């Protein structure tokens, strides 16, 4: 009475498996590979040690540790209070807020692009372009004076770069100090107000479900991120230095 | 004469050796001894009961659940990055403790201790290399872990809080790496940390070059957000000591505590994420 043995398929397998041995052996294997890789890497390549610290001898260029070079590169476009203090704080706070701002219930626990295109675009742009690409640029392309050098170019410490940048109010013909300040201030304020208002209008049906505070936070964090890109483009394409100049703060 | 112990002849011993009985008896003697049974609380035969006990009765492994979803085994899903980050952290702890035996965070000694480590201490160079490369690798793997968690939407309910803990851990990873960057006390270290900490000068209200600092009394190059970090107005010996203490004691303790919460919350939030 031999019954035909059905061939096992993926559906027949139990949904849950024992951690021992199935996960533990993977972890063990993975640990082995990582530790061997680390040991071999460490035997082959020595950690750098330059000459003793000397506070009277500033190297040119002076670079932060590589993982902060994205932020250091933003310094070209923003003052230290923003690039070195506010931007990192906003990045950390913004990352923490992600689960509370992204209310899309889809895509929880699996890879999907189509169900959450916008979220994936924003995060990938922030991470891959604004963080990783700027780091790569900072490590390999920034030479003496923080000037841009192509990999095949000699890092000439005497490279002459024309300083032709002007502030946005100046480019628009404002010459009086306070009129310029007022103009710059209205541009920055207008950008955030119009951006927020436009978003709220387009998404007005969602306000009831998503909540007004959530939407305000989301759009303003996004506007800051886009604003950084706008400022970079304005500098590189139109030589604009500051958008807003006041006695206390410049943007 | 009946009590006389039986002396096995050589033929019997050879037979036992050939059949494996000798080894089985020996193994049994060991595994049924008091020392063995008090140390290991489960058998090794591959039974479902033992598979559960291997995890549940082992203090190191019981971080795991005894069973997981099949999909959680797929490297394509997890990229293994969280685990690798933790492993690299452990590597830096081990190598870091060894380095601490030889390194003194004092302006006069620090750089020469580095030279001593590199040229005189047996395996000193290897320990230093492993420490530095593991630290750099950890920065990369923690970013990739975060990217994977984002792409799989694993921060969504009920895991929001663990994502927040994770963001703290990313920050502490960078701070650990940054504070360690100063310790070699060479030009690379001093100026990278100078560039990094100079940013604190621009802190609004609290940095002596920051906006609105004129409205806060007592803010000066010697007393502002940056001098709190450095213990002075430039990167000098007080900064070296401060960074050393932060690097070896304070941040590892805080990060370690947060790691415990992070791992515990994975379990409490329903295990590793997956399609519902």
Cβ–Cβ gap B187/A53 under 8 Å: yes
Q: Which domains does chain B have, with CATH numbers?
A: 78-268 (1.20.810.10)
- Let me know if residue A170 belongs to a domain: yes
Cis bond before residue A125 (omega within 30° of 0)? no
- Let me know if residue A213 belongs to a domain: yes
Q: Would you say B202 and A84 are in contact if contact means Cβ atoms under 8 Å apart?
A: yes
Question: Both A133 and A180 in a single domain?
Answer: no
- Give percent above pLDDT 70 in chain B: 99
The predicted pLDDT at position B7 comes to 80
User: In angstroms, rounded to a whole number, what is the distance separating the alpha carbons of residues B14 and A118?
Assistant: 75
**CA-nearest residue of chain A to B203?**
A81
ipTM field? 0.91
Domain boundary among A127, A159, A191: A159
- Let me know if residue A216 belongs to a domain: yes
- Let me know if residue A75 belongs to a domain: yes
Tens of pLDDT, residues B106-152: 999 999 999 999 999 999 999 999 999 999 999 999 999 999 999 99
User: In angstroms, rounded to a whole number, what is the distance separating the alpha carbons of residues B149 and B269?
Assistant: 14
Contacts of A127 in chain B (CB under 8 A): 143, 147
- Let me know if residue A36 belongs to a domain: no
- Let me know if residue A203 belongs to a domain: yes
Question: Both A154 and A166 in a single domain?
Answer: no
Phi-psi region of A145 (alpha: psi -120 to 50; beta: other; left: phi over 0): left
User: In angstroms, rounded to a whole number, what is the distance separating the alpha carbons of residues B170 and B81?
Assistant: 13
- A214 to chain B, any CB pair closer than 8 A? The answer is no
- B47 to chain A, any CB pair closer than 8 A? The answer is no
Task: Among A1-15, A136-150, A215-229, B153-167, name the one with the lowest average pLDDT.
Answer: A1-15
β-bridge mates for residue B69, sequence order: A16
β-bridge mates for residue A52, sequence order: B186
Residue B136, helix vs strand vs coil: helix
pLDDT band (50, 70, 90) for residue A1 = very low
Q: By residue range, what is the domain housing residue A175?
A: 162-251
- B101 to chain A, any CB pair closer than 8 A? The answer is no
The predicted pLDDT at position B2 comes to 63
Task: Choose from A25, A42, A119 for mutation: most chain B CBs within 10 A.
Answer: A42
- Let me know if residue A1 belongs to a domain: no
Please, what's the b/e burial string for B236-268 (b: 16 or more CB within 10 A of its CB; e: otherwise)? Answer: ebebbbbbbebbbeebbebbeebbeebbebbee
**Phi, then psi, of A234 in degrees rounded to 5:** -60, -40
Torsion sign across C-alpha atoms B17, B19, B25, B28: positive
Cβ–Cβ gap A85/B83 under 8 Å: no
- Average pLDDT across chain B, whole number: 93
Domain count, chain A: 2
Give the N- to C-terminal CA distance of chain A in Å, as an integer: 85
**Predicted confidence (pLDDT) at residue A162 exceeds the cutoff of 90:** no
- Let me know if residue A34 belongs to a domain: no
User: In angstroms, rounded to a whole number, what is the distance separating the alpha carbons of residues A5 and A8?
Assistant: 9
Supply the pTM of this predicted model.
0.91
Question: Both A182 and A215 in a single domain?
Answer: yes
Highest mean pLDDT among A201-210, B65-74, B169-178: B169-178
């Amino acid at each position: 009475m031999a019954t035909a043995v059905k061939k096992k398929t993926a559906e027949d397998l139990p949904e849950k498996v024992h951690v021992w041995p199935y996960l533990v052996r993977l972890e063990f294997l993975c640990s082995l590979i990582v530790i061997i890789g680390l040991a071999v890497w460490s035997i082959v390549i020595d950690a750098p040690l330059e000459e003793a610290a000397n506070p009277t001898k500033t190297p040119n260029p002076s670079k932060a540790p590589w993982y902060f070079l994205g932020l250091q590169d933003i310094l070209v476009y923003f003052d230290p209070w923003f690039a070195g203090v506010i931007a990192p704080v906003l990045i950390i706070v913004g990352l923490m807020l992600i689960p509370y701002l992204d209310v899309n219930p889809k895509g929880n626990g699996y890879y999907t692009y189509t169900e959450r295109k916008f979220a994936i675009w924003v995060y990938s742009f922030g991470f891959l372009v604004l963080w990783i690409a700027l780091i790569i640029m900072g490590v390999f392309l920034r030479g003496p004076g923080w000037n841009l050098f192509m990999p095949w170019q000699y890092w000439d410490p005497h490279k002459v770069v024309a300083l032709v940048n002007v502030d946005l109010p100046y480019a628009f013909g404002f010459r009086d100090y306070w009129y310029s300040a007022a103009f710059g201030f209205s541009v920055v304020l207008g950008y955030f107000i119009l951006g927020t208002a436009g978003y709220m209008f387009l998404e007005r049906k969602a306000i009831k479900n998503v909540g007004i505070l959530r939407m305000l936070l989301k759009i303003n964090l996004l506007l800051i991120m886009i604003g950084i890109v706008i400022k970079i483009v304005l500098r590189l394409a139109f030589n604009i230095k500051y958008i807003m100049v006041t006695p206390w703060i410049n943007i | 004469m009946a009590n006389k112990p039986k002396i096995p002849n050589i033929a019997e011993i050879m037979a036992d050796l050939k059949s494996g009985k000798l080894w089985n008896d020996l193994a049994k003697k060991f595994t049924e001894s008091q020392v063995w049974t008090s140390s290991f609380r489960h058998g090794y035969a591959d039974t479902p009961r033992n598979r559960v006990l291997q995890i549940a009765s082992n203090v190191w492994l019981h971080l795991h659940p005894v069973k997981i979803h099949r999909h959680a085994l797929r490297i394509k899903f997890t990229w293994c990055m969280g685990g690798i980050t933790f492993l690299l952290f452990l590597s830096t702890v081990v190598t870091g403790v060894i380095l601490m035996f030889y390194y003194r965070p004092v302006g006069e000694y620090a750089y020469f201790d580095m030279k001593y480590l590199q040229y005189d201490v047996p395996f000193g160079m290897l320990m230093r290399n492993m420490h530095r490369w593991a630290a750099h690798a950890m920065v990369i793997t923690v970013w990739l872990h975060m990217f994977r968690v984002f792409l799989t939407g694993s921060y969504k309910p009920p895991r929001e809080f663990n994502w927040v803990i994770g963001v703290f851990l990313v920050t502490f990873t960078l701070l650990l790496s940054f504070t360690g960057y100063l310790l070699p006390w060479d030009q690379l270290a001093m100026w990278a940390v100078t560039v990094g900490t100079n940013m604190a000068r621009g802190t609004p209200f609290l940095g002596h070059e920051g906006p609105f600092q004129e409205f806060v009394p007592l803010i000066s190059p010697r007393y502002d957000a940056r001098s709190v970090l450095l213990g002075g107005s430039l990167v000098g010996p007080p900064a070296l000591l401060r960074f050393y203490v932060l690097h070896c004691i304070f941040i590892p303790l805080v990060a370690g505590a947060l790691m415990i919460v992070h791992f515990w919350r994975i379990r409490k939030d329903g295990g590793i994420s997956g399609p519902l």
